[in-house]
Chains A and B, each alone.
Chain A
Amino acid sequence: MILRLAWRNLWRNRRRTFITIAMIVGAVVLSVTMQSVQNAMYDRNIDNMVRFSKGYIQVAAAGHKEDNTLETSVDLTPELREKILSIKGVRGILPRIQNFGLAALDTMSKDVMILGTVPEVEDEQTGLKKHVIKGEYFKAEDQSVMVAKGLAKRLQLSVGDTIVIVSMGYHGNSANGKFPVKAILELASPELNKRVMYMPEALAQRFFSLGTHVSDISILLDDNKKSLEISKEMQSVLGDKYEAKHWTELLPELKQMVEGDAAGGYIMYGILYVIIAFGVFGTVLMMLSERRREFGVVTAVGMKRRLLAIIVVIENFISGLIGAVAGMILALPGVLYLKYFPVNLAGQMKEAYEKIGFEPLILADIYPWILLENAGLVFLIALGLSIYPVVKILKIRSIDYLRS
């Protein structure tokens, strides 16, 4: 009968209960949507930056991170390859040569990031072939390069043009050459779009006088979410001669930017939760005021105050649970819509996003932990607001409440 009493009490003032549940639903929908968008954008932009540049895990010779030149390149021997592939969770490897240089065409020049890579494996890792907007995707034996759209625009070049590259090779060898442009790429990351050019691995090794060396090895994983633990295991397997770095070590500025932005998001959620807490608290006060005389009557006829408090907590539990579950369900359509139909930003918003190196796209993804965490938190806030009526009820003196 206690549960029945709590359930019926909940619906005795439908408007009040509806307001309470609506506020909880609103809070869950808002916070789930906001966080799903925020996380999807982080994941997308991290993925863009990481996969196209360093990889989730990068293996290089010891000291390469500080030196970051071809002098600390690594000889990719069959033994090293075997060792890396033996680690659980590693799907494959992508040897890369990364160096900086100056690209020129006619009277225009621009600093560039040269990426020497294995075309087929690169496509498998980054889906690079899909980013070709003009020309043809390169092959391992090609003597030509692919240029990112922003760089092509800056140098005013197109497919078929020949680009001159000046750089520094291994052990101080000069690296100068002319290369035909085979394709123009449109990369997701605005930052990479401005300065990247791709070269087949063999061509890059020759151009930089590297022999069989590569500057680093990007590791392909079965599950990128396990990258941190795998990077630690890899470091212990490979020993001191090599460094196995996680992307958060390789791109600390990206990590800090994401963390800084997320902190701003948490402040927003905090404000949202406080507003909701005050709203729900208002309905709790309404309930206490409406039922003051009834509380006096039931304690007068012998109901223990503790039991009365439990009934009120059950009422809050039920309304909180209904609100939290309904909020999770109602948040899904919006999140799913943004997952399958991302919104392309334009104008100043687009520029602002590009300025911080983010793809100008509003998208979302389903993260079960975001649904559960936000619904759980809002539910706990609603339930936590029971403390006030519980304290009031435990202090009831029947006569004071009967006189009201």
Chain B
Amino acid sequence: MSVIKTHQLSKIYNGSAVAVHALNKVDLHIEEGEFTAIVGPSGSGKTTLLNIIGGLDNATSGDVEVAGKDITRMSENDLIDFRLHNIGFVFQAYNLIPVLTAQENVEFIMLMQKRDKKERHERAMSLLKAVGLESQADKRPSQMSGGQQQRVAVARALASRPRFVLADEPTANLDSVSTSNLLDIMARLNQEEGTTFVFSTHDQRVIDRARRVITLEDGHIVSDETKA
């Protein structure tokens, strides 16, 4: 079952001098449980594609159906609510809330979902355990390494029980050990819990671990390979 479908998706940025076609009639289906990497050179449209299927940016034309809903016609408030319940985000720069501890950062999303305190606490601790940071629960982002922060970001992305997780260059700021740890965790969560992951990446180590690799160039999908 497809969790993400795009049809003839285009995005044009109208700059002051010249219009840039970031995405050009992209047709894409991503199935539940996939572990997919979107790759391509800088400016190929990876981040734009992730932003549009994540409901953060608008398409210039075409349709985007996420979790069975057409998100292209949703208002900003509806999109915020939709993202809260359906999409988990992992950003390149971690983007944890600096004044909250690791546990509070993970609980924060569930608080927005109005989950009760006990459930929030139990799920946050269970997710922190899953990413190997149970002992760091009381630390703030500034007290943790980049790799640890990105693992907390993964736990936060999963806290809302989203239909899928979008990760934009999640390993770009990590060393090789942290990258390897993060990929192990995400792969395990994908296999054991069936969480769908979609990455945009340049990182060959991520590409090697992905089971499907979609390559973008100049806003077109130039290859779409699923590994055996």
Binding site for B on A (CB under 8 A): 1-2, 4-5, 8-9, 12, 293-294, 297-305, 307, 396-399, 402
Contacts and interface: CB of A to CB of B under 8 A. Distances in A.
Given A1-B104, A8-B99, A293-B95, A301 B83 contact: yes
A8 B111 CA distance: 17
B98 interface: yes
Contact of A302 (B51, B85, B99): B85
B107 A299 contact: no
B91 A297 contact: yes
Nearest to A301: B89
Interface of B is mostly: helix
29 contacts: A1-B100, A1-B107, A1-B111, A4-B104, A5-B100, A9-B99, A12-B98, A12-B99, A293-B95, A294-B95, A294-B97, A297-B95, A298-B97, A299-B80, A300-B56, A300-B89, A301-B88, A301-B89, A301-B109, A301-B157, A302-B80, A302-B109, A303-B108, A303-B112, A304-B77, A305-B80, A396-B76, A399-B56, A399-B57
A182 to B, nearest CB: 78
Interface in B80-121: 80-81, 83-85, 88-89, 91, 95, 97-100, 104, 107-109, 111-113
A165 B104 CA distance: 90
B97 A302 contact: no
Nearest to A294: B97
Given A1-B108, A399-B57, A301 B156 contact: yes
B132 to A, nearest CB: 22
B112 A399 contact: no
B86 to A, nearest CB: 9
Closest 5 CB pairs of A and B: A302-B84, A8-B99, A297-B95, A399-B56, A399-B57
B145 to A, nearest CB: 20
Nearest to A7: B99
A2 B56 CA distance: 24
Given A294-B98, A301-B109, A302-B160, 17 more contacts: A5-B100, A12-B98, A298-B97, A300-B54, A301-B83, A301-B84, A301-B88, A301-B89, A302-B80, A302-B84, A302-B85, A303-B108, A303-B112, A305-B80, A397-B76, A398-B80, A399-B51
A293 B51 CA distance: 15
Interface of A is mostly: helix
A221 to B, nearest CB: 58
Nearest to B56: A399
A398 B107 CA distance: 21
A300 B81 contact: no
Interface in B42-100: 51, 54, 56-57, 76-77, 80-81, 83-85, 88-89, 91, 95, 97-100
Contacts of A1: 100, 104, 107-108, 111
Interface string B128-159: 00000000000000000000000000001100
B7 to A, nearest CB: 21
Interface of B: 51, 54, 56-57, 76-77, 80-81, 83-85, 88-89, 91, 95, 97-100, 104, 107-109, 111-113, 156-157, 160
A293 B98 CA distance: 12
Nearest to B166: A300
A392 to B, nearest CB: 14
B164 to A, nearest CB: 14
- Residue in A5, A294, A301, A397 whose Cβ sees the most chain B Cβ within 10 Å: A301
Nearest to A402: B56
Nearest to A9: B99
Contacts of A303: 80, 84, 108, 112
A397 B88 CA distance: 18
A93 B199 CA distance: 93
Nearest to B168: A402
B76 A300 contact: no
Nearest to B48: A399
A398 B87 CA distance: 14
Nearest to B117: A1
B71 to A, nearest CB: 13
A304 B95 contact: no
Nearest to A298: B97
A299 B89 CA distance: 11
A298 B56 CA distance: 12
A5 B80 contact: no
A26 to B, nearest CB: 27
A189 B51 CA distance: 78
A398 B97 contact: no
B51 A5 contact: no
Contacts of B88: 301
Contacts of B156: 301
A402 B109 CA distance: 18
Contacts of A5: 97, 99-100
A154 B50 CA distance: 95
A314 to B, nearest CB: 13
Contacts of A4: 104
Contacts of A298: 97
Nearest to B91: A297
Contacts of B80: 299, 302-305, 398
A384 to B, nearest CB: 25
Nearest to A12: B99
B123 to A, nearest CB: 15
- Residue in A1, A8, A293, A398 whose Cβ sees the most chain B Cβ within 10 Å: A398
A302 B56 contact: no
Contacts of A396: 76
A2 B107 CA distance: 12
